[in-house]
Amino acid sequence: MTTPSPATPVFQTIKDYLLKEIQAGTWKEGDAIPSESALAQQFSVSRMTVNRAVRELTSEQILNRIQGSGTYVAQQKYQATLVAIKSIADEIRSRSHTHHSELHELIEVDASELLAQQFQVKPGHPLFHSVIVHFENGIAIQVEDRWVNSVLAQDYLAQDFSIKTPNEYLMAVAPLQGVDYSIEAVIPPKSIADMLQISNKESCLVLHRKTRSQNQIATIVTMWHPGNRYQFTGSF
């Protein structure tokens, strides 16, 4: 029997347990997880409590419930979205080109009311903020403006981002649970245009992305790309 912590709601303990086992590879994509009855017996709770945990993970697309069959680990659909969650350095190297970056900011700040709302934390919660320009063969192709939940990436400020990208570090310490993103065409502010070495009258392709890990908001990042130098591609 697994004993939940008295400080944590029981359904959340079950949800965390299932997620941890999936991330550890105990159950892989397409594998069936234990039945609700088995989980209820394991945690000494009602099936209703187990059902809530399973239902929430299903709504988050971590699990897939099939009527009359069972509950399975869902395919991680973010891997097949238009924008792959991968390092821009890897993307550049895959074209046999050279990547380098320039660090413009790497600091710790207290979350404002707006950021606290976006990260679902209390105002004043410590966040890390980085601004990095990425270059392909010496030409600026991306300004990465990233906010990071310090709880999930405690050593973020100690990283050498000229060697390892934030994406590479974060994927190791905060395994991806889910992602939301949008893309728009925007005229950049002068500060962004200067970093990209373009006119602030030139349109940029802007990717806004929010990632989740361990049932928390892990990062909120805005990535600016010169519209005449960059395109998003993908396949389904």
Residue-wise pLDDT for 79-102, tens only, equals 333 455 678 888 888 878 899 999
Q: Supply the pTM of this predicted model.
A: 0.65
- Between CA 40 and CA 43, with CA 42 as vertex, the angle to 5 degrees is 70
* pLDDT of res. 74: 82
Using CA atoms, how far apart are residues 178 and 220, in angstroms rounded to an integer? 12
Using CA atoms, how far apart are residues 133 and 195, in angstroms rounded to an integer? 7
More confident residue, 92 or 37: 37
Average confidence (pLDDT) over 6-28: 86
pLDDT in tens, 189-212: 999 999 999 988 889 999 999 999
pLDDT band, residue 75 (cuts 50/70/90): low
pLDDT over 90 (residue 25) = no
Beta bridge pairs of residue 146: 130, 221
What does residue 134 show for φ and ψ, rounded to 5 degrees?
A: -105, 140
Going through the chain in order, the beta strands assigned E by DSSP cover: 63-66, 70-73, 99-110, 126-136, 139-149, 178-186, 204-213, 216-226
The fold of 10-75 is Arc Repressor Mutant, subunit A (1.10.10)
What percent of the chain clears pLDDT 70, i.e. is strictly above it?
A: 89
More confident residue, 81 or 157: 157
Give the mean pLDDT of the chain: 87
Please report the sign of the dihedral spanned by the C-alpha atoms of residue 92, residue 93, residue 98, residue 101: positive
Report whether 143 contacts 131 (CB < 8 A). yes
Q: Which one of 3.40.50.10470, 3.40.190.10, 3.40.1410.10, 3.30.930.10 gives the CATH number of domain 78-226?
A: 3.40.1410.10
* pLDDT of res. 36: 92
Q: Comparing C-alpha atoms, which of 45, 42, 20, 18 is closest to residue 32?
A: 18
More confident residue, 38 or 78: 38
Q: Do domains 10-75 and 78-226 have the same CATH topology?
A: no
What does residue 163 show for φ and ψ, rounded to 5 degrees?
A: -105, -40
More confident residue, 116 or 87: 116
* pLDDT of res. 106: 98
Q: 12 Cβ partners below 8 Å, 6+ apart?
A: 53, 215
Beta bridge pairs of residue 59: none
Report whether 170 contacts 148 (CB < 8 A). yes
Beta bridge pairs of residue 215: none
What residues does each domain of the chain span? 10-75, 78-226
